[in-house]
Structure 1
Amino acid sequence: MVCYQDNDTQYQSLSFERFRECVLPVTVGKRVFTYGSSLGAYAAVYYAGAVGATVIAAAPKNSAHPLLFSPRGRFSEELFKHEDLGSLGLTKNPVFVMVDPMRKQDIFFVKAYVVSSYPEAKVLELPFSGHACLKYLLEIGKLKSLVLSIVYDGEFPEVPVNVTCFVTSIEKALHHHRQGKPELALEYARTATRLAKSDSQKNKVKALYARLGQHDF
C-alpha cells in the first residue's frame, strides 16, 4: 500500500484518524511496516501509531513543521495542521531511523521530533551519506541486507560508514565548501567526477562544480 501527498501539502490533508480509518482494517492480524525517505519518512513516523507499525525512516523531515519552519521557506505558517506526535497513539513496535549526522537540520529533526517521542528509537548514523542516505546504502550494496535485517531480525546489521563512493565524495565536497576549505572541496569533487557513472550522477557533479565556483572540470 502506498500513500502519496497532494503536491506541496506535506500530508496535512490526511489526518492521523483518517489514515487509521482507511488502513487499519486491511492490516488486522498482519505485521505492518511504515517506511519512507525524507517527507515520506516523516509520514512513516507520524502515522505508525495508527496501525501499530514498525518504522523504517530514512532522514525524516518535514520543512513545514514548526521545528523547521522558516518564513523564507515556500510553506505558509498556517499550512501545518498535524498534531504533536506525543499526543497521538504511539506505536509499540520498534522505530528504525537512518540519518547523516553531518546534516545539522536532519539530525536536529531526528532528535527533536522522533527521539523525543520514541526515546528507544534505533538511530543509525551514516556520516556523509547525505539527506538521501538510502542512495549511500544502495551504492555500497547494503540497502537490501539492512531492510531484511530489520524485517527478519529486528535490528540494524553492521553497516560500513564513510565508505569512499560517489555519495560520500559529493557530501564531503559540500561539507568542506561550507567550512571554507576550497582545496579540500575540489579534491573531493574530483573524486566524485571519477566515480560518476550515470547521467544523473554526472549532472550532480556539474551542479557541484557550479556551486564551488568552478566551471571547468
Structure 2
Amino acid sequence: MSFEFEKVTFTEPKFTVHVKKNFGSDFAFYILSGNKRIAAKSYIKKTYSELEVKLEKNKVYCLKLFNRPECENTVLESDKLIIKRFFYLDKYGRVFVVNEEVLYEEERLKITEFNQESNITFVTFNSAQTDKTTSPFGAEFILSNGWNLIALHKHDKNQYQDLSLELFEKVIKDKTIGKKVFVYGTSLGGYCACYFGGILDATIIAGAPMLPVHPIMSHPDYQDVEYKHVPISNVPKTSKPVFIIYDPLESGDIRFMKETILTAYPLPYFIPVKGGSHLVMQTLLINGLLKATVLDLMNYNYIDVINRIMNHKEWVKI
C-alpha cells in the first residue's frame, strides 16, 4: 500500500484529508493557491487529518501531501513520498478532486492528463526551473474554467530533449481529436509550444520562447545536455494563429526568436509588453492582465489584448 490519497471532505471551515498508508508512517499536507501556501497541517500518524481554512468557490487549489515512511526517522527529503491533487469547490460549496492520469513517464519526462470532459483542451509545458513534481503550468486557471489539461513535465536540465515529435504525437494527439486545442507555455515552455503545437494543429500561445540548450545559445549551464530536436523550421506547422508575447527590450529574446521561431512562423501575432522582461507572463500575472490576455487570445481578440496592455496605467515590475 505504501501511501495513497483517498479523499477530501469540506464542511466549512473544516477541511479533512483521508489517506491510506502503512502502519508506522505519518503524513502532513499543504493547501496552495498558485504558488502560495495558504494552510498547512503538521505530521500525524492517523489516516485522516483536518484543519480549518477559508476556501473560495469555483477556484482550483493544489493539495500537496507528504508521507514519512518511518516518521521522525525519515530525514532526507528524497525519502519522503509526495502526492499532489487539484481540487475545487463548486457554487454550492461541494469539494471535487480533479483526477489526474499519467499518460507517459520515464526518467526525465512525464505527461499527465486532467480530463474534465470539455470541448477545450490545453496542452502546457513547464519551464526550465522545474522537475516532474512541479505543478503544471497554468493548471489552476485552466482547471478552474472546466477545461481539459494535458501537462508536460521535464526533469532536471533535460529541456524536453527526450521528447521527440513522434512520441508527442503518439501520446497526445488522439486525446485532442475533436477538441479546440491550445498549446501554452513560457520561456522553455513557450519554445516547446511553438515546436510541438503544429502536430495538433493547435492555437499557440507562447511567452518569450527560449531554448537554452539550442546550439545558437551556447549556454554554459547546458553544455552537458545533448541537443536532440530537429530545426524548428522542419517541424509540422499549425494552420491556427501563433501568438508571441514578449518584451521588445529583451535583445536576447529578440535574437533567439529571429533565428528560430520566425524560421517556422514568419508572421506570428506579436504582443509586445515593453519592460515586461523575459518573465513577461509573470509580469502580466502580477499586473492582473494574464487571465484576460489568454481569454481574449482564445477568441482571437488580438487587438483587444494589445489595447489593454498599452492602456494599462500602473505597471508593477518584477
TM-score, scaled to structure 1: 0.71
1:134-177: CA deviation from partner (whole Å, max 9, x where unpaired): 1221233221111111112352522334854331xx6xxxxxxx
Partner of 1:150: 297
- Say which of 172, 178, 190 aligns to 1:29: 178
The answer to whether 1:3 aligns with 2:152 is yes
Task: Give yes or no for contact 2:158–2:225 (8 Å, CA) kept in 1.
Answer: no
State whether structure 2 residue 178 is matched by structure 1 residue 44.
no
- Distance in 1 (CA, whole Å) between partners of 2:195 and 2:301 is 20
Q: Which amino acid aligns with 1:107?
A: I
Q: Kindly indicate whether the alpha-carbon contact (under 8 Å) linking 1:64 and 1:77 is maintained by their aligned counterparts in 2.
A: no
- For 1:87 and 1:77, the matched residues in 2 are separated by 25
**Inter-partner Cα distance in structure 2 for 1:152 and 1:125:** 19
How big is the shift at 1:45? 0.8
Matched with 2:315 is 165
| 2:207 is equivalent to residue 61 of structure 1 | no
Cα pair distance change 1:26/1:150, threshold 3 Å: same
Structure 2: give runs of 5+ residues left out of the alignment.
1-149
Question: In percent, how many aligned pairs have the same letter?
Answer: 31
Of 203, 221, 228 in structure 2, the residue corresponding to residue 81 of structure 1 is 228
Structure 1 residue 101: Cα displacement? 1.4
Q: Which has the larger radius of gyration?
A: 2
AA partner of residue 68 (structure 1): M
Q: Is the 8 A contact 2:232 2:263 kept in 1?
A: no
Measured in 2, the distance between the counterparts of 1:126 and 1:163 equals 13
Which amino acid in structure 2 is aligned with residue 55 of structure 1?
Answer: I
Equivalent-residue separation in structure 1 for 2:155 and 2:225 (angstroms): 17
Number of aligned residues? 166
Letter in 2 for 1:66: P
1:125 to 264, 267, 272: 272
Give, as a single letter, the amino acid of the residue that structure 1 aligns with 2:272.
E
Tell me how far apart the structure 2 counterparts of residues 123 and 32 of structure 1 sit (CA, whole Å): 20
> C-alpha distance in 1, partners of 2:155/2:298?
29
Structure 2 letter corresponding to 1:142: L
Q: Which has the higher helix share?
A: 1
Whole-Å separation in 1 of the counterparts to 2:313 and 2:211: 28
- Is 1:61–1:109's contact at 8 Å kept on the other side of the alignment? yes
Report the CA distance between 1:51 and its aligned residue. 1.0
Structure 1 residues without counterparts, runs of 5 or longer: 171-217
Which one has the bigger strand percentage? Answer: 2
- Determine the structure 1 residue equivalent to 2:259: 112
CA RMSD of aligned residues (A): 1.8
Cα drift, residue 98 of structure 1: 0.6
What do the CA deviations read for 1:42-101 (whole angstroms, capped 9, x no partner)? 11111111111110000111111112124xx11127611100111111111110001111
Residues 159, 110 of structure 1: alpha-carbon distance in 2 compared, 3 angstrom cutoff: farther
TM-score by length of 2: 0.49
Q: CA deviation at 1:26?
A: 0.7
Q: Is the 8 A contact 1:24 1:50 kept in 2?
A: yes
